Amino acid sequence: MRRAIFSAKEPETLLYIDLPATFGLPLFEKMTDDEKTTFIKFFSSGYLNLKTVYPRLLENIRENLFSRFQLKDRGELFARVSKQKQLHDKKLTPLIKRILDTKQSDDTWVESVAGAVIPSPPRFWKDQDFDQFEIELGIMVHRFKLLEKLSKSKDLDQLSQGKIESAKESILNSPEFDSLSLEEKDYLLSQLIDEVIFKENV
């Protein structure tokens, strides 16, 4: 029912064609009196459910986002991510831009950020889409934390920065490293940073 409502272009089409099809009923004009009664019951039940389910979904998305970053609220998330807004990473740039958008209301902001994680807007999600969101968000936040570590080495000279950037691209994007887990990539990057910083300070 949610998908039918949000996909509707004309209220008449929604009421007389789309919703009856969603409920497994014939077109409204062809319904018997009993079928019309069933339609009204289905619609009333679905509408009440929709009023509570979608806000709960947005709240789950919001909580998951803050939890992944280990932060309390939107303000803390903005403060942390804004420090990395110059990151040149094509996979994270859309997420970073939407997190830093202060013009959106809270619910609209949550919808926008979720849309940067998986392409389908939350209002069209099925149950498995939230599971996919959790997986993809976990990967993206982990990637953010890796690049955040690199940014802390900004006091190094340009040559050292170049070495780190080159190795970072290889570790994160080269096919030869695809078989590595996120933890293994994290370890390699940490070792790389430590080695370069150590060499620059001896």
Q: Which residue type sits at 30?
A: K
pLDDT in tens, the chain (202 residues): 666 766 667 777 777 788 888 888 888 888 888 888 888 888 887 777 777 888 999 999 999 999 999 999 999 999 999 988 877 777 889 999 999 999 999 999 999 999 999 988 898 888 789 999 999 999 899 888 877 876 665 555 565 666 666 666 666 666 666 677 766 766 776 666 666 554 544 3
**Spatial contact of 189 and 168, defined as CB atoms under 8 Å apart:** yes
For position 6, what pLDDT does the model report? 64
Q: What is the DSSP letter of 123?
A: G
Q: Which amino acid is at 41?
A: K
Residue 47 CB partners (closer than 8 Å, separation 6+): 1
Residues 6+ apart with CB under 8 A from 66: 72, 73, 74, 76, 77
pTM comes to: 0.62
CB neighbours of residue 166 within 10 Å: 10
Helix spans in 8-105 (H): 11-13, 19-22, 33-69, 74-82, 93-99
Spatial distance between the Cα atoms of 109 and 186, rounded to a whole number of angstroms: 29
- In whole angstroms, give the CA distance from residue 163 to residue 196: 8
Please tell me the distance from the alpha carbon of residue 161 to that of residue 156, in angstroms, as a whole number. 6
**Tokens at residue 82, please?**
């804004």
Please state, in angstroms and rounded to a whole number, the distance separating the CA atoms of residues 69 and 109: 16
Predicted local confidence at residue 202, as pLDDT: 38
Give me the phi and psi of 174, to 5 degrees please: -75, 140
Number of H helices, E strands in the chain: 10, 0
39 neighbors 19 (Cβ within 8 angstroms): yes
Query: CA dist 185 to 87, 132, 140, 146, 155, Å?
Result: 18, 22, 13, 9, 23
